[in-house]
A and B are shown apart, each in its own frame.
Chain A
Amino acid sequence: MSAINKLERHQARTAYLFIAPTMLLFVIFMVIPVGMALYLSFTNYDVLSRMDWVGLDNYRRLWDDSLLWLTFRNVLLYAVLFVPLNIVVSFGLGLLVNKAWRGIKLLRTLYYLPTLTSAVAAATVWLWLLHPEFGLVNGVLSGLGITGPAWVAETETAMVAIVLVTLWQSVGSNMIIYLAGLQGVPGHLYESARLDGANRWDMIRYITWPQLRPTTFLVSTMAIIGALQLFDQAFVLTQGGPANTTKTPVYLIYQQGFNQLQMGYASAQAFVLAMAILIFTIVNMRITRAEESVI
């Protein structure tokens, strides 16, 4: 007995040794800063001159902060549009490029290419494409007899424009993740389904989709977190306008902390955002894991 214990202890020690570097980095760069930020959210820290304990004042102020809640509504709207579209489009692309056609590698590369572009550069090009009078998008629309809107400048379409641009940029990498998942689905499942008379749609619905549930969970979780932390594309495309319709919490937190030097209050806002992300991730986990995998 004691020999086994000793072996286990030895193995445990080695395991701890192996994870130590990662854990150390995690503690220094994540746990300590998060703990500090939590502490700061109870102070009136301004980076330069003071850091006094103010209790729940910052959190009380949050209730009346209509602008903060507006930015939350904005990213929620964004997430509702972006997350499902992201899954559908990248799953669809994954299915398409999973075939062993000639030239498929070229297509995969092309679909992936937008992901490699810098977010700011891509947004700048899109601004030009979406220009109301001289842009390509409205040019095509007017060819079809439709007067296109001033995409990024009108309150109704600004968020749609941001969804389009971010979607264009993120489906590539998610397509790769789905592709990896698709190649891992065992072929015998399709074979037996075909013997039982299943058509192509049935196979996607009852084999591919359920088999890819872990992939979908990963993709949707990342998409939700990314959506709630939306910042750079929105900033370049619209600077939060028009009429605050595309202002996001991260933009507001940055402004409050670094431009207005109210780091304590900004930390409180950041914690609300972190909690929101946590809640949505848990909800998403429940939904995606509702059904058990086929095998």
Chain B
Amino acid sequence: MKKKWMTLTATVLTTALLAGCSGNSGGSAGGNAGEGGTNSGAAGSGESGGAPVELTFWGDWGGEGQAQFETMAGAFNASQDDIRVKYVLQQDMITKFLTSATSGGTPDILFWDRWRTSLYAPKNVLHPIDELMARDGVERDHYFEESLKELTYNDQLYGLPLTVDARALFYNKTMLEEAGLELPTTWEELATAAKALTKRSGDRLEVAGFSMGDPGLFSMYLQQAGGQMLTADGKTNFNNAQGLEVLSFWDRLMNEDKVYKIGFEQGLGEGTDAFVTGKLAMHYTGPWMLSTYKKYGSELDFGIVPPPAGPGGDLASVMGGFGLVIPEGSQHKEEAWTFIKWWLANKDNAMLWAETSLNLPGYKPALEDPFFADDPLWQPFLETLEFAKIRPQHPGYSVMEVDGLIPNLELFLQRKQSAEETLAKAQTQGDKLLKDNEVIE
């Protein structure tokens, strides 16, 4: 029934968008974008003469995020006279994009969670930017290869990275010092520290030494154990020795050393976050939590280290982040590219964005800025990003994880099925989900 309402919403939206956008194609194609593109304000130098081209930029960040995007659009608009960018907040952006992509009412620039590329690029709704990059001499070396790979499908690149992130180990400095512990660099040291930091009174868990609340981190542990989530031909690849190694490590933390309790962090909001309130000593999270934790100042003395290495010395973390892409339906691809290039291929502007939003920018030269390189809280992330890998590019990957793998891992963590059974069932269910959701030519 819900489905029907959605179809209905889609129909109504399509109609509204068709009506709203029919008058929008009058603007001229604008002058050729300036070459080089490393100066701010390199856009077509007044060739078009007439009214500026209006660009629409969609994103689903509201509140502070909206203000950050508006800062960037404002700075770009002030830097030249030919293009006007307007940020439009779309709470349900992907659904709106779906309806607009078929009706011609697409925006010109889209804020894009990169992992979606493998699902959307095969449908030809995104515009490849390889030629534009080659023409304007934007160098691939200025971006993490992994982040570009995540924006690539069939050897075509569909956008540039806006942010990069990866998980690293956050620890409570005070607790670690009180217990006289060194920073963990291996699984073994992590387990020892976790056990030493855990405080219990009877059955009650007072302080969890290390968070086991997110079984979705399996892919990171598997790579630390030397494994890979998928085979080259798109099948699950964790029902093996490496997978067992991860599960026996989890079993040790969870059931032998009892450093955590199921559901311990569930329902704790920002103000009562277990790490902030000193009820959790160590956990894996990403740079997006930095500004929250910094707010607590001296109350929360914390540090960050890259994820400890697995038994074979393998380092791993999962890279994610956002990019900017140009929808195929845009009427002003050239101008949209000018804006993206101004923002994501220019150190000053990438830094403006980084300092406004406190995100790690996708543009590497900006990461070399002392703002990041000399900050002890940013530095571990820069180290982690050097070896972090993106999620496998399969349109069914996230479904495989969420519906096939994680439910079985949860049963394992609650001691309801053995490690062998967990991996075998996750493999069968996961392979089926991958196959059901693969790209259909």
Whether B7 and A153, one on each chain, are in contact in the complex, defined by CB atoms closer than 8 angstroms, is no
Q: Which of B399-440 contact A (CB under 8 A)?
A: 399, 403, 406-408, 410-411, 414, 416, 429, 432-433, 436-437, 440
Is A241 part of the binding interface, using a Cβ–Cβ cutoff of 8 Å? yes
Measured between C-beta atoms, what is the minimum distance from A165 to chain B in Å? 12
Whether B11 contacts A153 by the Cβ 8 Å rule is no
Whether A33 contacts B4 by the Cβ 8 Å rule is yes
Contacts of B5 in A (CB 8 A): 33
**CA–CA, A128 to B265, complex, Å?**
10
Q: CA A255 – CA B400 in complex, angstroms?
A: 12
Query: Could you say which of A243, A260, A277 contacts B119, with CB atoms under 8 Å apart?
Result: A260
Among A49, A267, A274, max chain B CB count under 10 A is at A49
Task: Give Cα A46–Cα B120 distance, bound, in whole angstroms.
Answer: 10
- Provided the pairs A152-B267, A155-B416 are in contact, do residues A48 and B4 lie with their beta carbons within 8 angstroms? no
The answer to the question of A270 belonging to the interface, with a C-beta cut-off of 8 Å to chain B, is yes
A44 within 8 A of B: yes
A44 with B403: in contact, given A37-B3, A270-B1 (CB under 8 Å)?
no
A33: chain B residues at CB < 8 Å are 4-5, 7-8, 11
In the complex, how many angstroms separate the beta carbon of B422 from the nearest chain A beta carbon? 10
Residues of the A chain whose Cβ atoms lie less than 8 Å from the Cβ of B204: 133
Interface flag for A154 (CB, 8 Å): yes
Is A244 positioned at the interface, with any CB of B under 8 Å from its CB?
yes
- Which residues of A sit under 8 angstroms from B61, Cβ to Cβ? none
Query: Chain B contacts of A128 at CB under 8 A?
Result: 267-269, 272
Q: How far is the CB of A4 from chain B (nearest CB, A)?
A: 43
Asked whether, in the complex, the Cβ of A34 is within 8 Å of the Cβ of B261, the reply is no
B263 touching A44, Cβ below 8 Å:
no
CB-based nearest A residue for B2: A250
A29-B8 contact in complex given A147-B203, A154-B262, A258-B94, C-beta closer than 8 Å:
yes
Does A61 contact B410, Cβ atoms closer than 8 Å? Answer: no
A254 partner residues in chain B, CB cutoff 8 A: 2-3, 6
Given contacts A127-B266, A147-B203, A255-B399, contact A261 B123 (CB under 8 A): yes
Kindly report which residue of chain B lies nearest to residue A261, judged by CB atoms.
B119
Is the beta-carbon distance between A229 and B403 smaller than 8 angstroms?
Answer: no
A254 to B407, CA, bound (A): 19
Task: Count contacts on B: residues with CB < 8 A to the other chain.
Answer: 51
B125 at the interface (CB under 8 A from A): yes
Q: Which of B4, B98, B101, B272 sits near A34, CB closer than 8 Å?
A: B4
CB-CB under 8 A from B266, the residues of chain A are: 127, 131, 150, 152-153
Q: Please give, as numbers and ranges, the residues of chain A lying within 8 Å of B123 by CB-CB distance.
A: 46, 48-49, 261
From B4, B101, B432, give the contact of A270 (CB < 8 A).
Answer: B4
Q: A131–B261 Cα gap in the complex (Å)?
A: 11
Q: Is residue A181 contacting chain B, with contact meaning CB distance below 8 A? A: no
Q: Is B102 an interface residue (CB 8 A)?
A: yes
Q: Point out the residue from B124, B269, B437 that lies within 8 Å of A262, measured CB to CB.
A: B437
Residues of chain A lying within 8 A (CB to CB) of residue B88: none
Task: Flag whether B176 is at the interface (Cβ < 8 A).
Answer: no
Closest beta carbon of chain A to B263's beta carbon, Å: 3
Residues of B within 8 A of A244 (CB): 403, 407
* In the assembled complex, B205 has its CB within 8 A of some CB on chain A: yes
Q: CB within 8 Å of B: which of A243-276? A: 243-244, 247, 250, 253-255, 257-262, 266-267, 269-270, 273-274
Query: In the complex, are the beta carbons of A37 and B7 less than 8 A apart?
Result: yes
Given A33-B7, A267-B3, decide whether A242 and B267 contact each other with a Cβ distance below 8 A: no
Within 8 A of B (CB), among A210-239: 225, 229, 231
Pick from A36, A67, A153, A255 the residue with the most CB of B within 10 Å.
A153
**Bound CA–CA A36/B406 (angstroms):** 35
CB-contacts of A79-135 with B (<8 A)? 124, 127-128, 130-133, 135
Q: Counting CB contacts under 8 A, is B396 at the interface?
A: yes
Who on chain B is nearest to A271 by CB? Answer: B3
15 additional A-B residue pairs with CB within 8 Å, beyond A37-B4, A229-B1: A33-B4, A33-B7, A33-B11, A37-B7, A40-B7, A49-B124, A64-B432, A131-B263, A241-B406, A242-B407, A250-B2, A254-B2, A257-B3, A258-B94, A259-B399
User: Which residues does B use to contact A, with CB under 8 Å?
Assistant: 1-8, 10-11, 94-95, 98-99, 101-102, 119-120, 123-125, 203-205, 261-264, 266-269, 272, 395-396, 398-399, 403, 406-408, 410-411, 414, 416, 429, 432-433, 436-437, 440
Some 8 contacts from A to B, beta carbons below 8 A apart, are A48-B120, A48-B125, A127-B266, A131-B266, A135-B267, A243-B416, A258-B6, A260-B399
* A-B pairs with lowest CB-CB distance, top 8: A153-B263, A127-B267, A150-B263, A270-B3, A48-B123, A244-B407, A243-B407, A242-B410
